[in-house]
């Protein structure tokens, strides 16, 4: 029995299985290490299912049940979202009074149990725990998924179906809706707080009608199969941008939901370090360019508008060029790019209208980069965005666009990089001391970048999940920032053609700190978790 699971020993003692059955299960487990011994005995049918689960219940001191779809007495989504059920391998199968009967595949998974317990507490329910086989959990969850998909798929005609998909996305605070043709179905996914969740799989026979309806209300060409863009303007509180892309299984549709009249948030509320002097130093400029750098969907435009709000005064003429205009701001001249114009042509005409500050939605190519540089060199302050991984790589990106080292060093004043990370949900997060491992991780990066983190009176948080946060443990997002100010020393390096590595070395000596430092400060401030920082920045 050497190396054998203790539960295997007990099962042999009880006469439920023989020693050679346990050995067979262990050999199977070597090929499937994520599977537990009891589940393997069931999968291999090495003993009667009822006898096995009852023996396991006696050994582990747990209530047991051989869960089937017939045992489900409630609508699961009324209490637990399916994403939580899948991640915790748990199913709520009955509610009697204030008691909720929940079946788990692993009753030793304390974290999963506490997540489910916290979700049920939000419904004023007390959890009664049961054990079953993982295969039973998987079968029931697949059945529940089919029920959930049926709610969307059975929404009457295709008009009702599309409306249900969109309104459900709004209710769940989704930023994007992905409608993706697969080989045998059409998958619908929402992006909520940066995470993709599957909400439905629609039968393949509805694909043409579904895609056709979305293209019709988006003013897109029905016949064209290549990529195209459109917009849906029939929802009172949202602008919806639509993009189609041909795939091997048909046209994929992506809808980006933009809430109307949401207003501009204060730059400090977004997560920018609470330092008025630093803000003024970074953004209150003349004869120069400030560039916000980040991948798509990381809040660059929101930051730009917050900066504009900070700079906006009656005596200043601010003009923007955007594709499209996402937030309408009183007192600011906003130009929207259409199919007859481009960023470069709009910029040229704008320069003749005497602007003080110019917001260019994105530096996309050499032409727009050159005109932005020219504007910065002729008395204007230009704000724009670019797609790079960090603030220092902005210099490399401009170089690759053909901008000379002299023009970069004489015009680029500040580059800012950012990412969005999820906030812990204030409704269900549980405060606790930082673990030794968490402190070691944070201090390792602090030492690397010569930052001393102070853990005095600081607390970490365990994410649990509740109705408010869709049972994820996180609610909304905040930005983490890094700021590169182009000092005289850095400008000299740029003019001399120095590599980004050399520029980074000097910047670090002069006070530049990468994203991870701001991220860990937000962990110490109780805003997010070490786990979430690692998920976003891939630290270890």
pLDDT (tens, 9 = 90+) of the chain, 540 residues, equals 334 457 888 899 989 889 888 888 888 888 788 888 899 998 888 888 899 999 999 999 999 999 988 888 876 556 787 778 888 999 999 999 899 999 999 998 998 999 899 888 878 899 999 999 998 998 888 777 666 555 565 556 888 899 989 988 988 889 999 999 999 999 999 999 988 888 888 989 999 999 999 999 999 998 877 899 999 988 877 889 999 999 999 999 999 998 876 667 889 999 998 888 888 888 878 889 999 999 988 999 889 989 988 888 889 999 998 877 777 777 889 888 876 777 777 777 887 888 899 998 889 889 889 988 988 988 899 999 999 999 999 999 999 999 999 999 999 999 999 999 999 998 888 899 999 999 999 999 999 999 999 999 999 998 887 767 877 889 999 999 999 999 999 999 999 999 999 999 999 999 999 999 999 999 999 999 999 999 999 887
Residue closest to 385 by CA, chosen among 427, 428, 343: 343
Give the residue from 219, 243, 259 where a domain finishes: 259
Task: Verify cis geometry, omega within 30 degrees of 0, for the bond prior to 190.
Answer: no
Is the separation of the CB atoms in 248 and 457 below 8 Å?
Answer: no
- Cα–Cα distance measured from residue 282 to residue 383, given in angstroms and rounded to the nearest whole number: 11
- Residue 233 lies inside a defined structural domain of this protein: yes
Give the residue from 103, 121, 144 where a domain finishes: 144
CA 315 from chain centre, in angstroms, equals 39
Are residues 172 and 42 part of one domain? Answer: no
Are residues 125 and 103 part of one domain? Answer: yes
Are residues 529 and 454 part of one domain? Answer: yes
Establish how many alpha carbons lie within 13 A of residue 253's alpha carbon, considering only the half-sphere containing its beta carbon. Answer: 30
Structure-token match 């980006």, residue found: 256
Are residues 471 and 442 part of one domain? Answer: yes
- Residue 99 lies inside a defined structural domain of this protein: yes
Q: Are strands 228-232 and 238-247 parallel, antiparallel or unpaired?
A: antiparallel
Are residues 74 and 38 part of one domain? Answer: no
Is the separation of the CB atoms in 347 and 321 below 8 Å?
Answer: yes
- Residue 55 lies inside a defined structural domain of this protein: yes
Establish how many alpha carbons lie within 13 A of residue 147's alpha carbon, considering only the half-sphere containing its beta carbon. Answer: 15
Give the residue from 259, 280, 311 where a domain finishes: 259
- Residue 533 lies inside a defined structural domain of this protein: yes
Domain that holds residue 92: 64-144
What pLDDT, on a 0 to 100 scale, did the predictor assign at position 3? 41
The CATH number of whichever domain residue 502 belongs to comes to 3.40.50.300
What pLDDT, on a 0 to 100 scale, did the predictor assign at position 261? 64
Are residues 252 and 134 part of one domain? Answer: no
CA 472 from chain centre, in angstroms, equals 12
Are residues 14 and 39 part of one domain? Answer: yes
When divided into structural domains, the chain yields a total of 4
Are residues 79 and 42 part of one domain? Answer: no
- Residue 288 lies inside a defined structural domain of this protein: yes
- Residue 106 lies inside a defined structural domain of this protein: yes
């Amino acid at each position: 029995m050497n190396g054998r699971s203790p539960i295997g020993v007990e099962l042999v003692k009880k006469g439920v299985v023989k020693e050679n059955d346990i050995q067979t299960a262990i050999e199977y487990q070597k090929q499937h290490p994520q599977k537990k011994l009891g589940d393997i005995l069931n999968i291999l049918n090495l003993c009667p299912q009822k006898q096995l689960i009852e023996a396991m219940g006696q050994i582990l001191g747990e209530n047991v049940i051989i869960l089937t779809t017939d045992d489900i007495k409630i609508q699961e989504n009324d209490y637990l979202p399916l994403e939580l059920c899948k991640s915790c391998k748990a199913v709520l199968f009955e509610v009697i009074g204030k008691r909720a009967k929940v079946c788990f595949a692993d009753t030793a998974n304390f974290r999963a149990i506490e997540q489910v317990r916290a979700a049920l507490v939000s419904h004023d329910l007390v959890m009664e725990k049961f054990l079953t086989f993982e295969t039973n959990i998987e079968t029931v969850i697949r059945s529940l998924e089919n029920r959930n998909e049926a709610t969307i798929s059975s929404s009457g005609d295709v008009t009702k179906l599309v409306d249900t998909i969109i309104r459900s996305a709004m209710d769940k605070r989704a930023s994007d809706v992905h409608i993706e043709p697969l080989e045998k179905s059409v998958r619908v996914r929402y992006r909520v707080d940066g995470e993709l969740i599957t909400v439905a799989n629609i039968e393949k026979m509805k694909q043409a009608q579904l895609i056709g309806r979305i293209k019709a209300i988006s003013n897109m060409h029905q016949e064209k199969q290549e990529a195209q863009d459109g917009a849906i303007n029939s929802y009172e509180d949202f602008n919806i941008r639509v993009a189609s892309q041909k795939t091997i299984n048909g046209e994929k549709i992506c809808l980006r939901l933009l809430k109307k009249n949401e207003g501009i948030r204060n730059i400090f509320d977004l997560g920018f370090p609470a330092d008025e002097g630093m803000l003024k130093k970074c953004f209150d400029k003349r004869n120069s360019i400030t560039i916000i750098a980040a991948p798509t969907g990381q809040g660059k435009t929101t930051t730009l508008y917050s900066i504009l709000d900070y700079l906006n005064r009656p005596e200043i003429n601010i003009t923007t060029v955007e594709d499209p205009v996402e937030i309408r701001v009183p007192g600011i001249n906003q130009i929207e790019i259409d199919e007859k114009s481009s960023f470069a042509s709009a910029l040229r005409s704008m320069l003749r209208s005497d602007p003080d500050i110019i917001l260019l939605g994105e530096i996309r190519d050499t032409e727009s980069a050159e005109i932005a540089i020219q504007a910065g060199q002729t008395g204007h302050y230009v704000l724009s965005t670019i797609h790079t991984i960090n603030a220092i790589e902005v210099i490399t990106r401009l170089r690759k666009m053909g901008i000379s080292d002299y023009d970069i060093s004489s015009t680029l004043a500040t580059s800012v990089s950012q990412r969005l990370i999820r906030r812990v949900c204030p409704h269900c997060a549980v405060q606790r001391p930082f673990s030794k491992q968490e402190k070691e991780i944070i201090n390792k990066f602090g030492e690397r970048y010569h930052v001393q983190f102070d853990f005095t009176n600081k607390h970490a948080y365990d994410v649990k999940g509740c109705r408010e946060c869709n049972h994820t443990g996180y609610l909304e997002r905040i930005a983490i920032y890094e700021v590169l100010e182009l000092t005289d020393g850095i400008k000299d390096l740029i003019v001399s053609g120095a590599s980004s590595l050399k520029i980074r070395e000097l910047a670090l000596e002069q006070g530049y700190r990468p994203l991870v430092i701001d991220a860990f400060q937000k962990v110490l401030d109780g805003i997010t978790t070490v786990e979430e920082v690692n998920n976003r920045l891939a630290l270890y």
